[in-house]
Every structure is written in structure tokens, then in C-alpha cells.
Amino acid sequence: MRITAIHEKTVPIQSNIRNAYIDFSTMTASVVAVVTDVVREGRPVVGYGFNSNGRYGAGGLLRERFIPRLLAADPALLVNESGDNLDPHRIWQVLMTGEKPGGHGERSVAVGVLDMAVWDAAAKIAEKPLYRLLAEQYGDGNTDDRVFVYAAGGYYQPGKGLGALQDEMRQYLDLGYRVVKMKIGGADLAEDVRRVEAVIEVLDGDGSRLAVDANGRFDLRTAIAYADALAPYGLFWYEEAGDPLDYGLQAALSQYYPGPMATGENLFSHQDVRNLLRYGGMHPETDYLQFDCALSYGVVEYLRTLAVLREHGWSARRVIPHGGHQLSLHLAAGLGLGGNESYPGVFQPFGGFADGYQVDDGYVRLPKTPGIGFEHKAALYPLLKSLHE
């Protein structure tokens, strides 16, 4: 078998929302389709991939480097021993040929987008949902039949007052979520405390159902001032307080803040993760890690990241990935992660899961059809299909 074509496009996912660090007025994403010559149900198998929010589309890198590299490779180097399916690990090696270590800038996005499409195609060719393939090949064979999800939103928006913030959160609860997340650090501390209290009111006074996200905005002094203000609420987690690469800040804050903390969405390699675990002072029993495969070289690299976790005494259950996409849902169900982010209100059509699979008391189920299941999302599939039809 072989890859016959790879199509790529940059699409907008802009909106008027803002976190503490960026607004999303010019945000884009890369979308790819990897077409194979394997036929299932009368049609060539096509795998789809895209990157999640927060990093821009990587069209330049895809067009100039990664897609040509893949198409120029001997097809025999891209398939498994028996030659009947793609081998994502071999493909990853080909993609990274000529790439020096370190400096994991945006090339991890380009590789992550292609890797997503390769796994989608490989699972379709194997005629299994991806979570089953992952559980059989890399897990203990067991899969979770439902995955914990939380609703992320609570962005800053022009004219959005406390009432609108509360209405947004009520909508998430009505959809079946139990835990919600909101942004902090984009207003002053007093205003953020009012916002946090307004959301906790909607959660029947239960702060343990609210996560807050500072998107790396704070220096240590500000992070500590927020820690003092937030600690009494007993929050679900306090996320990305300082710069994602400032492990010293994280270590100081981890010692100081009594509740669970979360970070990792802007670490793009297993080496960066290793440094966080070595030097970030995080607590394996109570903290959360948020690495997002779509931004960080894909599933092949994620398997290495999970190995690093094991070496440092962390359970995969402490991982709840950033990004709210279906690939992470498969990783969670197949490899026993702790759950997944969800964006019921933002970053559509890429956020969200299969149509008809409602969130029930904070958990969601996955379709049993082959691949990742993008075909089950009516708002997304036409866009993916338009790449090659």
C-alpha cells in the first residue's frame, strides 16, 4: 500500500475571545488529508488531521518541508512489516529526517497535524476505532468506555459582564458537564475574584468544580497574589500561572499553593516534559498535565511522553490534554488518561466530539467506527472532505 496524495489548507478559527495572553482575532489552523490506495467500502481510505487552537496553522512548514519529505520517501519506508498498513513510527522518522534536536517551535505542529491524519488512516485500514488500536498496541488491551471531559470557556469578550459569564457556564452545565474552566489574568485581581465568585455561584457554591487558567501571564509575585486569593475556593485546578518554560516559577508556586495545579499545553516534546517533571516541583498525586498531541509532534511523540511520565512516577491518569479534539479523546480511552478538555462554545468546528454522543454527568462516550471518527461530526466533516474531493 502507499500514500497517493497529501492535501493541506490553512483555515480560520478566529473569534473575538481573549485570554490573559492573546486574542484569537487572527487565529488559524492547518488541516490535512492523507490519501491512500487502500480501499474500504468502495473508496480510498483518507486520514484527516488538524491542529488545535493556540498555535497558528503551519502551512509553510507543511508545504516546504514535511509534505515533500513524505511524498519523496520510498513507500516501503512508510509501511509496517507486512506492508498492509501505514507505520506511524516509521513515518515519524521520515518526517524528522534532517531535523536537529531541541527548539521545538512550530514544526511540532506541522508534524502533529500529519501524524493525526496518519493514525486516522491506519485505524481505518485496521478497521478499528483508534482507541482500540492504541489499547491493543500500547496499553493493556483495555479501553475506557467513557472519558471525563470538562467544559473550557469563560473567556474575556467585549461587553461580557458577570451575567453573561454565568449564562455561559449554565449552558455548559445544561449540556451535561460538571466541571468548567474560565480564564483569569486578563483583568485585575479584584475583577477576576468577582468573576470567579460569580461562576462558583452557578456551581452551587462548589469551587472544586471550577478550574482557572492564566495562560502563562503571571510573574511569581502576581502568581502568588492570585494563589492567596484563589486558595480558599478549593478549585479543581490553577492552570499555567507563569511562563510554560519557567520551571523555577512553577516549582516555587507548587510549594506555595495548596491546591491542584495544571500545566503543559505549551510543552511540545518529551524532553520538555522531562524537564517539567525534573524541575517543576509538581505533585504526581494531585496535579494535572495537559500536553496536546496535536501541537506536540503527534501520537508517536506522545507515547514517548507517557514513558517519561512512568519513569518519573506519574500515572497517565494525571493527564487531561489541552485542545478539546477527538484524537485526545481516543488517547484518553485507549491509553488510560484522566480525561480531556472540551470547548462546547468556542473553536468550532474543530472543538467538540461526535454528534449524538451527549455528555452525561461529565463523561462522554466514543463511536465504535474505524478511525478517529471525524465523519461523525457534521460541522467538521465537509471541510475535511473538501480537501480532496
Ligand X SMILES: O=C([O-])CC(=O)C(=O)O
Binding site for Mg ion (CB under 5 A): 213
Q: Is 213 in the site for ligand X (CB under 6 A)?
A: yes
Question: Which helix H or strand E contains 326, and what residues bound it?
Answer: helix 326-335
Side-chain-side CA neighbours of residue 297 (13 Å) = 25
Amino acid present at 366? L
Torsion, Cα 36 349 355 204, to 10 degrees, reads 140
Provide the minimum distance between the beta carbon of 323 and ligand X in the complex, in angstroms, as a whole number.
Answer: 7
Residue of minimal Cβ distance to Mg ion: 213
Q: Is 160 annotated as belonging to a binding site?
A: no
Task: Please select the residue that binds ligand X; options are 7, 9, 195, 322, rule is CB under 6 A.
Answer: 322
Provide the minimum distance between the beta carbon of 85 and ligand X in the complex, in angstroms, as a whole number.
Answer: 33
Whichever of 78 and 230 has its CB closer to ligand X, that residue is: 230
Phi, psi of 17 (to 5 degrees): -85, 160
CA angle 97, 99, 105 (to 5 degrees): 135
Q: Is 341 in the site for ligand X (CB under 6 A)?
A: yes
Applying the rule CB under 6 A, the residues between 136 and 155 that interact with ligand X are 152
Q: Is 19 in the site for ligand X (CB under 6 A)?
A: yes
CA 168 to chain centre: 22
Q: DSSP string spanning 183-226?
A: E-SSS-HHHHHHHHHHHHHHTTT-GGGEEEE-TT---HHHHHHH
Q: Is 9 annotated as belonging to a binding site?
A: no
Q: Indicate which of Mg ion, ligand X, none lies near residue 329 (CB less than 5 to 8 Å, by partner kind).
A: none
Residue with cell 523555577: 248
Pick the catalytic residue: 322, 325, 330, 377? 322
Provide the minimum distance between the beta carbon of 213 and ligand X in the complex, in angstroms, as a whole number.
Answer: 5
Side-chain-side CA neighbours of residue 369 (13 Å) = 12
**302 contacts 316 by C-beta, under 8 angstroms:** no
Active-site residue, 183 included: yes
Q: Is 265 in the site for ligand X (CB under 6 A)?
A: yes
Whichever of 254 and 290 has its CB closer to ligand X, that residue is: 290
Q: DSSP string spanning 273-290?
A: HHHHHHHS---TTT-EE-
Q: Is 266 in the site for ligand X (CB under 6 A)?
A: no
Rounded Cα–Cα distance for residues 16 and 25 (Å): 6
Q: Indicate which of Mg ion, ligand X, none lies near residue 28 (CB less than 5 to 8 Å, by partner kind).
A: none
Provide the minimum distance between the beta carbon of 15 and Mg ion in the complex, in angstroms, as a whole number.
Answer: 16
Count residues binding ligand X (CB under 6 A): 9
What is the total residue count of the chain? Answer: 389
Pick the catalytic residue: 7, 104, 183, 325? 183
Q: Indicate which of ligand X, Mg ion, none lies near residue 54 (CB less than 5 to 8 Å, by partner kind).
A: ligand X
Q: Is 328 in the site for ligand X (CB under 6 A)?
A: no
Q: Indicate which of Mg ion, ligand X, none lies near residue 196 (CB less than 5 to 8 Å, by partner kind).
A: none
Q: Is 266 annotated as belonging to a binding site?
A: no
Task: Please select the residue that binds ligand X; options are 30, 48, 50, 54, rule is CB under 6 A.
Answer: 54
Whichever of 131 and 343 has its CB closer to Mg ion, that residue is: 343
Q: At what angle do helices 189-202 and 162-174 cross, to 10 degrees?
A: 40
Active-site residue, 325 included: no
Residue 88 — left, alpha, or beta (φ > 0 → left; ψ -120 to 50 → alpha)?
A: alpha
**Pair type for strands 43-50 and 28-40:** antiparallel
Q: Is 265 annotated as belonging to a binding site?
A: yes
Closest CA to 264 of 192, 314, 202, 198: 314
Binding site for substrate, residues?
Answer: 19, 53, 100, 155, 181, 239, 265, 322
Binding site, residues?
Answer: 19, 53, 100, 155, 181, 213, 239, 265, 322
The site for ligand X (CB under 6 A) is made up of 19, 53-54, 152, 213, 215, 265, 322, 341
Residues with a known catalytic role: 183, 322
